[in-house]
């Protein structure tokens, strides 16, 4: 997007997003607005009572009688105004918090539906900024801007009517000066939204650079490029400082203009009332009331100038969120999705083509049938389409052509959440979350604590982690850091394998399909052999697809399918493929020559 102009479609998307959140604010926002309006009316009442008291106390012959009643009324009105102020602030805060929660839920739900493949096109730092700063940036719109706009659209006209009844000439002055304040606000604030959008763009770039610099710090230090990375982050931070100061200058200038013209209008009104009192053209009570009501008349308009920054910030933040929500997610499943077939499932790929829109199909017309209970090894060079095949089965993406049939039912017709619960999936680079070892194995699955603890221990033992856990101070309650800190790469991989083993042993409907992306890739040969036996136990009685690189894993499969450039070029057992001396045999020979085959 251009730095000099804001895309109108993006601004429209931001406004549409904010408008769609109105229901989330609910009646709480209406309470906040009503309390703010009532506070303004009470302020008008305070001006009238106070003007009457002062008129009676200052002027001889003014309103006579006991002042106890008016003083009690004044005190009561002040207390009521304070209570309404508190109610308005609390209600507005609650409404804004509800909107923020709804927006964050919507954003996280959309990211979850996008899946790791579609979301991979977004910079992690940019996404983190959207989930934190952008969501928080929308909140002031509902907490400050909406109540301010409601008050500005109502209170000045009510006060104008009251002032006109007290003195029509003063009401005329207020009427003439009323439209001048918004006019000057528009003139001064022109271009402020563009500056706010540039600020958010700069913040997103800063977040991305900072995340990349921290993530790649070891490599940067080794290559001697850490100083250059620090300089880049510092330059982006300075850009953000300048953009922020530009927005603040415009915000303060808008508020200053509103204060200046409101003060000038009140001064003009005061001078006019003073001369008219001197000439005897109006009563002291009416003049004092109008003069005390004037600040209440201009206060909502001054608040618009002060809170306009909240609107600009919210629109800019909503624009960032709308960009993420605009990413196309997989199509919604049918309202009455077909139940997942029980037991080991058979798979059939019928002319499956998958293109990411880059001119080359990741998969091109795949025809493959996997019988229930079969163990199939998927082999091929990097970029051959193996991971795309798994992403299709996991529901992260949908084929651009053809279809996948699971147990006689099209995958597109299955309930996706139920289907994923019937899967055991272990990616090559699985994530270890911040928490205890037991939490990482169970992954939030509920159950009896005693039996679950036993199942976790059994899964850890099967993944060859029993000795490691026994040596830890808190056993399975030992905390590990995000990404597997405190664990080596091989230990983290085995912990993720234990997670898959635990899922396979859960009571209820057992998983019918196992998807492994070379689970022994980061293990030494001895441990890989032991883990391979555990994997074989998991796959027994289940359909299993394994993206394989180790010869031992490949040879253990019932059938081997060779991928090349998104197509299946060979299929058969190890002995059959070696006898053909085709692509599979050449691949193994090249791997041996390069020392990559274990």
Instruction: Yes or no: say if 445 and 506 are a contact pair by the CB < 8 Å rule.
Output: yes
> What are residue 517's DSSP bridge partners?
547
CA 323 centroid distance within chain: 11
pLDDT at 594 over 70: no
Q: With both helix axes pointing from N to C terminus, report the angle between 68-119 and 284-325 in degrees, rounded to the nearest 10.
A: 10
Q: Give yes or no on whether 344-422+511-598 and 429-508 have one common fold.
A: yes
CB under 8 Å to 418, separation ≥6 — which residues?
337, 339, 340
Q: β-strand 479-480 against 435-436: which pairing, if any?
A: antiparallel
Rounded Cα distance between 530 and 514, Å, is 18
Instruction: Yes or no: say if 389 and 363 are a contact pair by the CB < 8 Å rule.
Output: yes
Q: What is the pLDDT of residue 200?
A: 67
Provide the 8-state DSSP code for 420: H
Q: Is the pTM of this model over 0.85?
A: no
Range in 23-27, 28-32, 212-216, 242-246 the model is least confident about: 212-216
CA 13 centroid distance within chain: 16
Q: In the chain, how many H helices and how many E strands? A: 23, 12
Phi-psi region of 167 (alpha: psi -120 to 50; beta: other; left: phi over 0): beta
- Nearest one of 315, 8, 11 to 138, comparing CA atoms: 315
Phi-psi region of 346 (alpha: psi -120 to 50; beta: other; left: phi over 0): beta
The highest-confidence range among 70-74, 343-347, 426-430, by mean pLDDT, is 70-74
Question: Does domain 429-508 sit in CATH 3.40.50.300?
Answer: yes
CB under 8 Å to 392, separation ≥6 — which residues?
352, 354, 363, 398, 399, 404, 411
- Nearest one of 293, 324, 221, 279 to 45, comparing CA atoms: 293
Cα–Cα separations (whole angstroms), residue 215 to 130, 209, 235:
19, 10, 19
Rounded Cα distance between 177 and 44, Å, is 19
As a whole number, mean pLDDT of residues 109-135 equals 79
Q: How many residues does the chain have?
A: 598
Instruction: Yes or no: say if 515 and 503 are a contact pair by the CB < 8 Å rule.
Output: no
As a whole number, mean pLDDT of residues 141-155 equals 88
Q: Which residue has the tokens 């003049």?
A: 287
Cα–Cα separations (whole angstroms), residue 539 to 462, 513, 518, 534, 575:
14, 8, 14, 9, 22
Rounded Cα distance between 103 and 47, Å, is 42
pLDDT higher at 201 or 495: 495
Q: Which residue has the tokens 């991928």?
A: 563
- Mark out the alpha helices in 59-191 (DSSP H runs): 68-119, 124-129, 135-140, 146-152, 155-166, 168-177, 180-189
As a whole number, mean pLDDT of residues 555-569 equals 87
* CATH code assigned to 23-325: 1.20.1560.10
pLDDT at 1 over 80: no
pLDDT at 117 over 90: no
CB under 8 Å to 144, separation ≥6 — which residues?
92, 307, 310
Domain residue ranges in the chain: 23-325, 344-422+511-598, 429-508
Instruction: Yes or no: say if 355 and 397 are a contact pair by the CB < 8 Å rule.
Output: no
What does pLDDT average to over the chain? 80
pLDDT at 38 over 90: yes
CATH class of 344-422+511-598: alpha beta
């Amino acid at each position: 997007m251009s730095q000099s102009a804001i895309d109108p479609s993006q601004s429209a998307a931001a406004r549409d997003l904010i408008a769609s959140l109105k229901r989330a604010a609910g009646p709480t926002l209406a309470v906040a607005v009503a309390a703010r309006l009532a506070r303004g009316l009470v302020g008008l009442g305070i001006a009238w009572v106070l003007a009457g008291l002062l008129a009676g106390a200052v002027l001889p012959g003014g309103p006579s009688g006991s002042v106890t009643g008016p003083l009690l009324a004044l005190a009561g009105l002040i207390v009521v105004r304070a209570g309404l102020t508190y109610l308005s602030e609390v209600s507005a805060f609650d409404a804004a918090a509800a909107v923020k929660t709804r927006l964050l839920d919507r954003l996280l739900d959309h990211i979850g539906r996008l899946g790791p493949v579609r979301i991979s096109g977004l910079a992690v730092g940019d996404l983190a900024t959207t989930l934190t700063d952008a969501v928080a940036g929308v909140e002031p719109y509902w907490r400050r801007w909406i109540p301010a706009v409601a008050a500005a659209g109502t209170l000045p006209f009510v006060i104008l009517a009251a002032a006109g009844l007290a003195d029509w000439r003063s009401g005329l002055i207020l009427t003439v000066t009323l439209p001048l304040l918004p006019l000057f606000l528009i003139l001064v604030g022109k271009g402020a939204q563009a500056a706010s959008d540039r600020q958010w763009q700069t913040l997103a770039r800063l977040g991305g650079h900072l995340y990349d610099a921290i993530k790649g710090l070891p490599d940067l230090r080794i290559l001697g490029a850490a100083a250059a990375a620090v300089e880049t982050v510092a330059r982006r931070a300075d850009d953000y400082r300048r953009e922020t100061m530009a927005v603040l200058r415009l915000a303060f200038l808008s508020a200053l203009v509103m204060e200046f013209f409101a003060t000038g209008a009140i001064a003009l009104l005061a001078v006019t009332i003073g001369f008219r009192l001197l000439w005897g053209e109006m009563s002291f009570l009416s003049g004092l009331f109008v003069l005390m009501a004037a600040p209440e008349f201009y206060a909502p308009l001054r608040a618009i100038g002060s809170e306009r920054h909240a609107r600009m910030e919210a629109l800019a933040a909503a624009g960032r969120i709308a960009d993420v929500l605009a990413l196309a997610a997989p199509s919604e499943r049918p309202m009455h999705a077909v139940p997942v077939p029980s037991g080991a499932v058979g798979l059939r790929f019928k002319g499956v083509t998958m293109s990411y829109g880059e001119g080359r199909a990741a998969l091109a017309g795949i025809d493959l049938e996997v019988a229930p209970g079969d163990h199939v090894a998927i082999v091929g060079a990097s970029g051959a389409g193996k991971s795309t095949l798994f992403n299709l089965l996991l529901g992260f993406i949908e084929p651009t052509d053809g279809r996948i049939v699971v147990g006689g039912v099209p995958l597109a017709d299955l309930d996706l959440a139920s289907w994923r619960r019937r899967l055991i999936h272990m990616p090559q680079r699985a994530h270890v979350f911040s928490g205890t070892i037991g939490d990482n194995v169970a992954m939030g699955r509920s159950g009896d604590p005693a039996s679950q603890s036993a199942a976790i221990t059994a899964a850890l033992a099967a993944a060859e982690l029993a000795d490691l856990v026994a040596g830890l101070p808190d056993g399975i309650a030992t905390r590990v850091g995000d990404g597997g800190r405190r664990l080596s790469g091989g230990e983290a991989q085995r912990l993720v394998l234990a997670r898959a083993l635990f899922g396979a042993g859960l009571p209820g409907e057992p998983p019918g399909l196992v998807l492994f992306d070379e689970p022994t890739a980061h293990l030494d040969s001895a441990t890989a052999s032991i883990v391979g036996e555990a994997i074989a136990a998991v796959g027994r009685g289940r359909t299993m697809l394994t993206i394989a690189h180790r010869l031992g894993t490949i040879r253990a499969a019932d059938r081997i399918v060779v991928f090349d450039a998104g197509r299946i070029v060979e299929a058969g057992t190890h002995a059959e493929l070696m006898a053909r001396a085709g692509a599979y045999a050449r691949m193994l020979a090249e791997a041996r020559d390069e020392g990559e085959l274990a």
